Structure 1
Amino acid sequence: MTSAVEREQRWERNLKVLPFVLLTLATAICVATFPEVGPQSRGARVIFGILVAATAVWTWRWMYVYGRPHPVGYIGRTALTAVLTAMHPLFCIFGWIGFLDAFDSFRGRWRWVAMAATAAIMAMGQTGGPPPYDNPWQSLLLPLLFVLNFGLASLMGRYSEHLDAVSRERAATIGRLEEALAENARLQEELLAQSRSAGVRDERERLAREIHDTIAQSLAGVVAQLQAAEGSADAQDVRRRVARATEMARTALVEARRSVQDLSPAELAEAGLADALAALVAAWRDDHGAEASFVVVGDAVALHSEVEATLLRIAQEALANVAKHACAQRVGVTLTFDAAEVILDVRDDGSGFDPTAPVRGSSFGLGVMRDRARRLTGSFTVESAPGDGTAVSARIPALPRGPA
């Protein structure tokens, strides 16, 4: 298919050729009618031919050498056309070309002056030549034909101006749309780059949380069990602690694989949240010898896997903090199911601490628990005082099992 640019170029070529086509046609008609109309003497006809050749050269110079319509070119061609039409009325056939490029040759009111000059030439040719006339009807027709030619040309000129304005507006709109598309493409590239960067950052944070909450805790448990076994004189106790250390090491390996694959915690693979927390509390009690209890309040329901994983990780971290810092004798874990949210509370009677004190660089656990809760638009609070134990509470929307 022909493109818009190719069609425009073809129209420009045709418009450059059109004056010469009309000049040839007008000259041929004039020559054919010499016996009845136009110059009768041989000398007048030679002058007519010279003027036709001059018109052709003048038109060629301004159309092809200069390259575009120009006021000087228009005035010279119109003057030659007026003289030739006065010599032979039918030469006004060529004069019509003045209507075509008046708007391209002039600006402002001079356009209408050029249109009026061309309309006068056309009226003169249509009435049979310049005045004075022997027939009164010719004198009457001359102004009427001038008005008619000028009116029709003005109407077409106005319409051409309207089309030009619409074309410029469309071109400007297309330009703005192209700029908007380019800007949108640039913004999309920036968003993609930011999304990739955020994805990398989120994945790093996720792996950090997973390693801290699972693998690091399991390995710390392995070290604790092995150290306890090393200092024990009871062979049965040594075997029990080594077996427990082996189990923890295997759990750490499983969690490492699951962290890489972004799967749910191993404890939730075949059990619900309440059962997984009960098993976690029981294992922690066996490992540390402290009194630990677990209570479920409300009807346990299946929650979204991300919610269950988050609560389980918070409970693991809270119990790890109790074992590491609190020196507690009693620990209580409560899981409360509400209509709108699920609440996890972990309390101990340990040494406690001052929550308003500056956070040590190694205190990573509380921040991890808080980030986990906020990640699901939940909340995390800590209540503690030196010598009065610690209570942490995580409240998370009770999203049902299925897509969040």
Structure 2
Amino acid sequence: MNKPAAQFKKIVEYALPWLVLAILFFYSYIEFFQHPFGFAWHPDGSISFVYVQQTAAPTLMVGDRIVQIGELSWDAFRSDLRKTFFEGVKTGEITAVTVERNGELITVPWSLPGFNRGEFFSQLLSQWFMAYFFWIAGLLTVMFLRPKDERWWLMMAFNFLTAIWLVAGTGLSNFHLWYSALILRMAIWLCIPIYLHLHWVFPKSLGKLPKSLVGAGYLLALVLMIAQWFQALPGSLYFLGFLIAILGSLILLIVHVFRQVEVRREVGFMAVLGFVAFLPSIVLGAAYVWIEKVPQISMFAMVSFAAIPFSYLYIAFRRQMGDLELRVNRIVSAYFFIVLLGVVGVPLFAIANLWLPATSHTVIVGIVTTLLVAMLSIWGFPHFQTFMEHHLLGIPMASDQIHENYARRTATDTSIAALIELLEKVMLPSLLVRQFVFLQFDHDSARVLLASGVDPQQFNDDRSLSGLSALKKDVLDGNQSFKSYPWVQLALPLKVGEEVLGLWLFGRRDPDDFYSQLEFPLFQSLADQTAIALSNIIQTERLHTAYQNDIKRNELGRQYLALELHDGILNKMAALMMKLDDQNLTPEFQEAYKELTTQLRGMVKDLRPTMLNYGIQLAIQDYADTLQEHLAGKGHVVVDLRSDDCRYSEEIELHLLRIVQEACTNALRHAAPTLITISGQLDAERIELCVRDNGSGFNPKENLDLNSLQTTGHFGVAGMFERGELIGADIKIEADPAGGTRVQIECKPARIQGAAAAH
């Protein structure tokens, strides 16, 4: 930036806020002390309030339409925004006020009353102070918002310009005092490019605008301002300019929502604050229409409009609040809560006061209302604050609950995927961390379990592995200076005993990338809990792997034993039988021999189902037929399978059959059913099987996850889940609403071959 531009920025920074404040003070003084006319009027000339009742008849009445005051007619007053009524008239002097009442012209000798309580309090309860909310927001922008870039200029202009047109337009412009009507209209024309330009770059720029377009927009606004000063524009045209500024800003915010996913929460926050800003006025306006007594407290409804400028401030300053963010969040939550209490409580109090007109009743209503508000605040505010932080401020977990909740949830996580999801979706947003890497060490190798805001590829080459070894050593030595990874602000080891299981690397963090020493114990405690959880998960996965290997070895052993029985024992028995003379064999021997060979063939069939050579559907049907024979009329087994004759890998078909067998065996062993139904769909892209029985069922509250089943000795059901994991199938065991148990198996296998090519 060149020197003249820097000097100009410094002049603006130091002088503009106080110049705007002087304008606000000036017009606020005019508001209260320079138009004590004793009555007020609507823009159409009809009298809205009469604050001073004069004894001499005729006098002014609400509803009279002004025709002329002194020498100035209403038409002349409306056509020239520089002219004002009672100009040069002193307090106590009489001026002729001509009004139209019921179709007749009446001239009222009106004595200018000067300062009076009715008019003062009417102005006091108006919206004049809203301008100061925007001025404070503008001052905070000038003093604290960094960097001093395009957004800094626009935020400052937005707040100061809004403050000016608000103070000029709160009743003053209706009286044309001190060029207020012209100032209002000129400020509105300048608002158009500033409002639109601000909402193009806020909360996040939609792109770079052509300088010619920006310059043309501001030049057009300047031309309209000059034309307005010389009253070359229609008097009400500025309403169109105001609509363009407001609607254009809303449209740009909607564009942000659709084009920038990352700012949707900020825009939603602004929308909610805008709704809260207008909600009290809407509710009180409705109450006034009904009971006609609420306007005395309309000033308190206007306080809620502070939400508008401060919503912009919160979004702009959130990354720069440091340790104050938690307090500011609580202030925001308390502000919302107070506004909602007021929206509900004040109209109820007014209604109760209307129905109970006695003074003693009013006191009782006030006491009861106070007690109810106190009870609601004590009970409801903590829940409301949690809701605000979670849903509106984007903080999934309150900071004072992080340690307790994290310990509880990691104790139940049984997989690395669940641990990563907890970190990514809950913990990191709660800690306002935007850059984070979770590394796991396994002997001399390292792998990235989670990378947020960081490219994980930087950890995948040989050079990075050596750098990680050095980083690991630095962290264990307590060194927090990382030359190889300059983005790292904080690194914590994940240790169980002397074993280092991994590292947590923290980088950018809202609002200012600062990690306070006071927070280190919390971060280290979370890292220690993660190390314990990771150690448990690793041990569990090793057990699962060992169990799955046992299943595979068991299947190989079954196949070997089946082969030995079939090709060895049965063949030798058949050869031996052929060498014997049937005439020398007793019937008892032959019957025993036949029964033994049948049992051996049954064992071979169970060890290695031969029908799997023809597909899973026929294998399940064959198993069901065998099971039906064993039941001997004590129950029924029904098979209802639909298939497109596709085939799956040998492993998938074998494990599916074993799962179905185990489900049926468990039902017969524990539930005493009279009917077992095996149904489902066998397609090339999807397998769905369901084994349902009508037995006694099981306790639906019983934990059926794999770890619990192994702990409680349910190894058969655990084997079903293990086999499901081996082939990527999901298994659910549920209590059937009609009675009994339902086992559902779902799998999405890759198609292996068609039926025509089967073996």
**TM-score bracket, shorter-length normalisation:** 0.3 to 0.5
Q: TM-score, normalised by structure 1?
A: 0.38
Higher radius of gyration, 1 or 2: 1
Higher relative contact order (CA 8 A, sep 6+): 1
Greater fraction of residues in helix: 1
Q: TM-score, normalised by structure 2?
A: 0.22
